[in-house]
């Protein structure tokens, strides 16, 4: 095993431990709140930035602040809801099941993170590096990534590659 393999193991273990400690419900609420925060900040950030013109004259700074304020407000709201939900789960004595489902969620999230990184490294010049071929776990990651990409619609990979090339 080389350094990349240890990083892959660390990503999956850290994700698993965090989800085990926090529990499934809190992790799902957290994930949903982050996705909502990003979507709502993109959607309503420009509107909020118009109300900040008297405080910040530089438009990019104003838009960044508006995005940040909405994003943080939604994530904090999600954190509060997640905290309340986890307390309710412990009151009704469902903590063990919640934590076991959290463990499964954490492993899945860790694997998805590794697959995502594998995908982006695989289409970059880094895929030509020696460690890319020497890694024991990257081979499994690449095989699993091929399986996942085969489940995607036919034009998914092509559309994604075109978008990435246009960046």
> What would the pLDDT profile of 78-120 be if each residue is shown by its tens digit?
999 999 998 898 888 888 999 999 999 999 999 999 999 998 8
Mean pLDDT of 14-37: 94
- The confidence score (pLDDT) of residue 124 equals 85
Angle at the Cα of 137 from the Cα atoms of 133 and 139, rounded to 5 degrees = 50
User: Is 41 exposed, middle or buried (CB count within 10 Å of its CB: 0-12, 13-18, 19+)?
Assistant: buried
Threshold 0.75, pTM exceeds: no
User: Distance between CA atoms of 31 and 2, rounded to whole angstroms?
Assistant: 31
- 56-65, 128-137, 142-151, 155-164: least confidently modelled range: 155-164
Query: Hey, is 111 helix, strand or coil?
Result: helix
Measured from the Cβ of residue 14, the count of other Cβ atoms closer than 10 Å reads 13
């Amino acid at each position: 095993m080389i350094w990349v393999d240890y990083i892959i193991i660390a990503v999956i273990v850290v994700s698993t431990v965090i989800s085990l400690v926090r529990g499934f419900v809190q992790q799902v609420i957290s994930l949903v709140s982050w996705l909502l925060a990003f979507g709502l900040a993109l959607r309503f950030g420009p509107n909020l930035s118009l109300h900040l013109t008297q405080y910040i004259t530089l438009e990019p700074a104003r838009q960044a602040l508006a995005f940040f304020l909405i994003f943080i407000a939604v994530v904090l709201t999600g954190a509060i809801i997640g905290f309340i939900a986890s307390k309710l789960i412990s009151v009704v004595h469902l903590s063990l099941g919640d934590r076991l489902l959290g463990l499964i969620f954490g492993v899945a999230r860790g694997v998805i993170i590794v697959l995502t990184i594998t995908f982006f490294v695989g289409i970059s010049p880094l895929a030509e590096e020696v460690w890319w071929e020497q890694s024991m776990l990257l081979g499994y990651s690449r095989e699993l990534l091929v399986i996942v990409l085969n489940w995607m619609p036919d034009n998914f990979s092509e559309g994604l590659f075109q978008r990435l090339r246009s960046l």
